[in-house]
């Protein structure tokens, strides 16, 4: 499963700086709005120390971690939903992502222009989210127009959908994100909203860009009180660190990069777990699935044919396998569980599929 994260925020808040630090890909980080004309897309490995431990047990020649795809789009401005700046074009790119990483400028720098003329994290969040809401309202209105005929004909399903969409429209007009609306929506009604792929229905992680002194403590507390996910990073510092080796960082007395914690937080935000496979001792690989996924949903990630041909699987927790140090010995000791298609995968499972 390739997780896709859209990087959003106002212009000049550090989006391209983060992208460059994460992917080590050269991107333009010049100081002017709409520096990013085409979306930058980069693949980042999800750090997982368990892979190395399992590879040593299996004698694997190759390690394949899970990955996250980061999509960096142009900064949003007021009126983006109506096409201001490069709004409509890039809001469409965000629709294809699984979650949003919302970068909020907290740093002060006279040489870096702020589109609003001053640093105000709370205001900036409201500006970006207002544009996302306006775009979602447009999507909802279009859907309501599309089902209008069926509603007039008295079709039950269409009338139910219209009822849900009217309630959603009301909440969006109140500034409430679709993800909050979905939390209290009955399961049979959720399909009407989920099928629209609304921007505000996506999980968001707020990245507060600045050092500890630049990020107001009361602002952090406010985000926590609202149940928001956030992380504080100094992206310029992280970019500098990313260009050094671990040895060079130690020589300069610099802390290790905090980007790994960001990647893990993005991974956790979508409630993903990891299971592992060891292919004939040649390749140890991590696979990401939603928490609560069955073994059938997991093996389909490995190969599309596996779901249909699945007979059973052998499963063991990675820690137990590393402790014993040998797959065959684990089997001899009766530590491998034989599971059927209804088995629910757990984080850290090592799986051998029988087809």
Look up the pTM and report it.
0.82
CATH of the domain at 32: 3.40.50.300
* Residue 98 and residue 222 in one domain: yes
For residue 287, being part of any structural domain is answered with no
- Does one domain contain both 175 and 320? no
**Quick check: is 279 in a domain?**
no
Same domain, 221 and 327: no
In this structure, are 217 and 309 located in the same domain? no
Percentage above 90 pLDDT, the chain: 47
> pLDDT tens digit string along 223-246?
999 889 999 999 988 888 877 767
Lowest model confidence (mean pLDDT) among 40-49, 164-173, 184-193 = 40-49
- How many structural domains does the chain have? 2
What pLDDT is attached to residue 30? 38
Q: Which residues pair with 71 in a beta bridge?
A: 6, 41
Q: For residue 275, is it within any domain?
A: no
Q: What is the mean pLDDT of residues 63-89?
A: 65
Domain that holds residue 316: 292-354
Domain termination site, one of 216, 233, 267: 267
At 153 the pLDDT is 93
Residues 126 and 237 in one domain: yes
pLDDT value of residue 40? 73
Tell me, yes or no, whether 148 and 32 share the same domain: yes
pLDDT, position 31? 36
In a domain, residue 281? The reply is no
Read off the pLDDT of residues 290-301 as tens digits, 9 standing for 90 and up.
Answer: 999 999 998 888
Cα–Cα distance, 99 to 94 (Å, whole number)? 9
* CATH code of the domain covering residue 338: 3.10.20.30
In a domain, 97, yes or no: yes
Report if residue 106 sits inside a domain. Answer: yes
- Residue 255 sits in the same domain as residue 333: no
In terms of domains, do 202 and 325 share one?
Answer: no
Half-sphere exposure of 39 (CA within 13 A, CB side): 23
Domain membership of residue 286 (yes or no) is: no
124 and 237, same domain (yes or no)? yes
Per-residue model confidence (pLDDT) at position 81: 45
301 and 258 housed in the same domain: no
307 and 244 in a common domain: no
In a domain, residue 274? The reply is no
Give residue 189's pLDDT: 94
Same domain membership, residue 67 and residue 128:
yes
């Amino acid at each position: 499963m390739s997780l896709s994260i859209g990087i959003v925020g106002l212009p000049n808040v550090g989006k391209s700086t983060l992208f460059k630090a994460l992917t080590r890909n050269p991107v333009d980080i010049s100081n002017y709005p709409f520096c990013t004309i085409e979306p930058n897309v980069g693949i980042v490995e999800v750090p997982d120390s368990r892979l190395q431990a399992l590879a040593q047990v299996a004698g694997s020649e190759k390690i394949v971690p899970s990955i996250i795809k980061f999509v960096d789009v142009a900064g949003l401005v007021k009126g983006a939903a109506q096409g201001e700046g490069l709004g409509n074009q890039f809001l469409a790119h965000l629709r294809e992502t699984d979650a949003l990483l919302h970068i909020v400028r907290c740093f002060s720098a006279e040489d870096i222009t702020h589109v609003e003329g001053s640093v105000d994290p709370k205001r900036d969040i409201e500006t970006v989210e207002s544009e996302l809401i306006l775009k979602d309202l447009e999507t909802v209105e279009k859907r309501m127009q599309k089902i209008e005929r069926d509603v007039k004909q008295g079709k039950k399903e269409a009338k139910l959908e219209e009822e849900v969409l009217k309630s959603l429209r009301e909440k969006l007009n109140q500034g409430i994100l679709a993800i909050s609306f979905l939390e209290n929506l009955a399961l049979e009604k959720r399909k009407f909203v989920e099928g629209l792929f609304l921007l505000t229905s996506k999980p968001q992680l707020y990245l507060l860009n600045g050092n500890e002194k630049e990020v107001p403590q009361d602002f952090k507390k406010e985000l926590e009180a609202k149940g928001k996910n956030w992380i504080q990073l100094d992206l310029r510092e992280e970019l500098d660190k990313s260009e050094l080796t671990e040895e060079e960082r130690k020589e300069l007395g610099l802390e290790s990069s905090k980007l790994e914690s960001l990647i893990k937080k993005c991974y956790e935000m979508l409630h993903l777990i990891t299971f592992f496979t060891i292919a004939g001792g040649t390749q140890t690989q991590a696979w990401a699935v939603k928490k609560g996924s069955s073994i059938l949903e997991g093996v389909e990630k490995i190969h599309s044919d596996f779901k249909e041909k699945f007979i059973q699987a052998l499963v063991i927790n990675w820690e137990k396998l590393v402790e014993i140090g040998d797959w065959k010995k684990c089997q001899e000791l009766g530590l491998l569980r034989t599971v059927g298609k209804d088995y629910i995968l757990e984080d850290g499972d090592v799986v051998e599929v029988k087809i």
